[in-house]
Structure 1
């Protein structure tokens, strides 16, 4: 005996996202910056260590930038967090 599945094709799926904008709220977002200062080797090693710990991807950090101290560089990571 065969079973027909054509009857199920007329069912309208329930939307997964509500289209009622009046009940949805947009959370406030804030930028937070993490800065590492040090030698090129020190900054790069710290970025790699933080990557291994799952803190941030290596490519999320800025390129090495000169700081105001001679021989010192810095790199900046910007994260956007939800505030309440």
Structure 2
């Protein structure tokens, strides 16, 4: 898996990720993973293996202000929920 960390100098990292995932005007649910990059990638792949979320549905890993920490967000409209 490639290192897909990104940064935007004009916004905080979390704001950049949230902006990229906006579903305007529709109610949405979010799942946020915040931590060590290896752990975040591992959880994303584990959730995929459990059939909860596709790997490609998550935002790019984005560095936070804390050294060694990244954030990734999964956002779905409420119509996409699994029971």
Report the TM range for the smaller structure's normalisation.
Answer: 0.5 to 0.7
The structure carrying a bigger helix percent of its residues is 2
The structure carrying a bigger strand percent of its residues is 1
Question: Which stretches in structure 1 are left out of the alignment for 5+ residues?
Answer: 1-28
Question: Which stretches in structure 2 are left out of the alignment for 5+ residues?
Answer: 1-25
- Normalising by structure 1, we get a TM-score of 0.60
Structure 1 runs of 4+ aligned residues shifted over 6 Å read none
Larger Rg: 1
- Normalising by structure 2, we get a TM-score of 0.61
- RMSD across aligned C-alpha pairs, in angstroms? 1.5
Q: Which has the higher contact order (CA 8 A, sep 6+)?
A: 2
